Amino acid sequence: MKYEQLAKDVIKNVGGKENVNSLTHCITRLRFKLKDESKANTDVLKNMDGVVTVVQSGGQYQVVIGNHVPEVYAEVAAIGGFQAAAETPVKEKQGLLNAFIDMISGVFSPTLGVLAATGMIKGFAAMFLALGWLTSTSGTYQILSAIGDCLFYFFPIFLGYTSAKKFNANIFIGMAIGATLVYPTFSSLTASGKPLYTLFSGTTFESPVYLTFLGIPVILMSYSSSVIPIIVSTYVGSKIEAGFKKIIPSVVRTFLVPFCTLLVTVPLALIVIGPVSTWAGQLLGAATVFLYNLSPLVAGALLGGFWQVFVIFGLHWGLVPVAINNLTVLGYDPVLATVMGASFAQTGVVLAILLKTKNVKLKSLSVPAFISGIFGVTEPAIYGITLPRKKPFILSCIVAAVGGAIIGGMGSRGYMIGGLGVFAIPSYIGPNGMDTGFYGMLIGMFGCLVLGFLVMLFAGFKDDEIKTENQNNGIGKSESLVKQETVASPVKGSVVALCDVTDEAFSTGAMGKGIAVEPAEGKVYSPVDGVLTNVFPTGHAIGITSDNGVEVLIHVGKDTVKLKGKHFTPMKKQGEHVKKGDLLLEFDMDAIRGEGFVLTTPVIVTNSGNYLDVIETEKQSVNFKEDLLTVVI
């Protein structure tokens, strides 16, 4: 129960358990799918002791905890009951990129811990063999190899489980589909059997046929370690299962739904989905290697330099299936190899900050961040130290680009999914032992560590660059990953949700995100420091651009433009620079209402698409100058 209070506070500030669709976690983050992200108290969470920061990306609300996230996750899941709730997620609209990232993270993230662990064991076995400490015939080596190979060899079964959970299907149906794909009899047929005939002879897709199903030829593939076939098959199976659930009576649904689903899905997987997905995977592998081979040095520099940016926004998930597919199809992967220097560049920068800083708080943050970085977990370093100070983060990206170019230029390749940081080293020992690519990886990794340290040491930084104070508990805390600008209420009155405004131009969000206020007094004050970019001649609306570039529209009433300026008295002119709280406009509420107009006043961030989010106040009423909107920049 060590993290019980933290778990309760996190649940409360994500909007309560009723606001949570589902919850997963990765190495350092709690990954929430919220029904309404605007209900989360992002400011409170970011300043909470035990929380590093909050990231909203890839359709997920990510609370960065640090290395002890599994323990916190267990408490949050137990207190909120989210494990059960996750079985019936609420569907929501997402962009294609967000949907893809969400699907990939949901399918792969549960396996990554064990996948890394087995890969490390296999890597160390390869290293012991290369160093002559073990022989390939020794029992010790064979047992270590079996442990190392087991998960990846039977990967379709594990992915059948995680894919079924992600697609809201019966997890055992997903596992059964995966187990069928790696059924040993099929492998023995292709190894020693004589084909009945051959399809697509003389083409790239030439395929011997060893058996048929109801007279239909089955193209047997090697699905061990494969990724795409089982994910696609499970997705199709989830739709087939849902269809049978609708038509099969509930009294026999328990066994007839799996019975019918497997009878339809498995033959479909073996006859169509498996072969097509395998060919697609082979094309994907060939395409990535082709692009990489155009210039390994340039590809390495780009991937290495931007890797930490990808991690921040969760976009690195898009490369995980590519890498695993390359291992399956090609037996090696050059893509993720190029980014291995990034964590060491980040770690070297943190080490320099640790040695140079006189700030006790910063020094205390740097020690665990450095240790974590050595083992490949850099989120504490990124969010807690380098990114808020900008220059260290930028320098670490530049150094990572140099490391990526070295690794790419020397042809380094990964031969298994192994550990992170120093534990990843054995993963780059190839079938021929420690070759040029392996030594290139070592140079890239430790070169980034040294170069990052030296660059940061001589570039320097200000110890007091960031000093913000948690007003709730007085604990000093570094500035968070996400900057914010607060938009004050320009009018006094009752808060109205934007969707409840009768003017569809505002209620539909077409003009941007925001909120509305039902005025209690006929005055409008400036909500930000900025320039009056648009004072309408009729006086009913004012546009202001803050000093940070946030564009705010204040529109007094509905259709009040028809008054042609009557009852409105502007107090400032267009082009003037104003301060937050300056009086901008006065209007006669009684006279306007007397002419039949509604005075509900939307306050809109018209360029809200440029920002991560616009969070509305939860207050029922506001006074002049009180916080109304928070723009997450």
pLDDT band at residue 97, thresholds of 50, 70 and 90? low
Nearest to 543 by CA among 529, 531, 533: 533
pLDDT digits (tens, 9 = 90+) for 167-180: 889 999 999 999 99
Is the pLDDT confidence value at 405 over 70?
yes
Fold equal for 4-93 and 484-632: no
Question: How high is the pLDDT of residue 62?
Answer: 85
d(CA 238, CA 299): 38
Three-state DSSP class for residue 364: helix
For the segment(s) 4-93, the CATH number from 3.40.50.720, 3.30.1360.60, 3.30.360.10, 3.40.1350.10 is 3.30.1360.60
d(CA 483, CA 480): 7
Question: How high is the pLDDT of residue 117?
Answer: 77
The residue-averaged pLDDT of 222-245 equals: 88
**What are the φ/ψ torsions at residue 93 (nearest 5 degrees)?**
-75, 135
The residue-averaged pLDDT of 80-89 equals: 55
d(CA 158, CA 161): 5
The domain spans of the chain are 4-93, 154-291, 295-469, 484-632
Highest mean pLDDT (candidates 27-41, 135-149, 187-201, 369-383): 135-149
Is 26 catalytic? The answer is yes
- For every residue of 387-423, DSSP letters joined together read GGGSHHHHHHHHHHHHHHHHHHHTT--B-S---SGGG
- Top-level class of domain 484-632: mainly beta
d(CA 525, CA 603): 12
Instruction: Tell me which long-range contacts 360-364 makes (C-beta under 8 A, separation of at least 24).
Output: 361/476, 361/478, 362/463, 362/478
d(CA 346, CA 335): 19
Question: How high is the pLDDT of residue 476?
Answer: 37
Task: Tell me the Cα Rg of the chain.
Answer: 29
Task: Indicate whether this model's pTM tops 0.85.
Answer: no
Question: How high is the pLDDT of residue 83?
Answer: 58
- The DSSP symbol for 478 reads P
Is the pLDDT confidence value at 277 over 90?
no
Nearest to 239 by CA among 327, 155, 163: 163
The residue-averaged pLDDT of 229-244 equals: 92
**What are the φ/ψ torsions at residue 418 (nearest 5 degrees)?**
-115, -150
pLDDT digits (tens, 9 = 90+) for 458-496: 887 666 444 433 333 333 333 344 467 889 999 999 999
Is 555 catalytic? The answer is yes
Task: Report percent pLDDT > 70 for the chain.
Answer: 87
Question: How high is the pLDDT of residue 210?
Answer: 85
Instruction: Tell me which long-range contacts 272-278 makes (C-beta under 8 A, separation of at least 24).
Output: 273/229, 273/232, 273/233, 273/236, 274/181, 274/219, 274/221, 274/223, 274/229, 274/233, 275/207, 275/219, 275/221, 277/226, 277/228, 277/229, 277/232, 277/233, 278/221, 278/223, 278/226, 278/228, 278/229
Question: How high is the pLDDT of residue 11?
Answer: 93
- For every residue of 230-262, DSSP letters joined together read HHHHHHHHHHHHHHHHHHS-GGGHHHHHHHHHH
Highest mean pLDDT (candidates 51-60, 93-102, 171-180, 603-612): 171-180
Which one of 26, 316, 448, 540 is the catalytic residue?
26
Is the pLDDT confidence value at 235 over 90?
yes
pLDDT digits (tens, 9 = 90+) for 218-232: 888 878 877 788 999
Which one is predicted more confidently, 462 or 553?
553
Task: Report percent pLDDT > 90 for the chain.
Answer: 28
| Lookup: tokens for 114 | 């064990």
521 CB-side CA count, 13 A: 13
Q: Which residue has the tokens 């006929």?
A: 522
Nearest to 584 by CA among 543, 524, 516, 520: 524
Which one of 25, 316, 555, 567 is the catalytic residue?
555
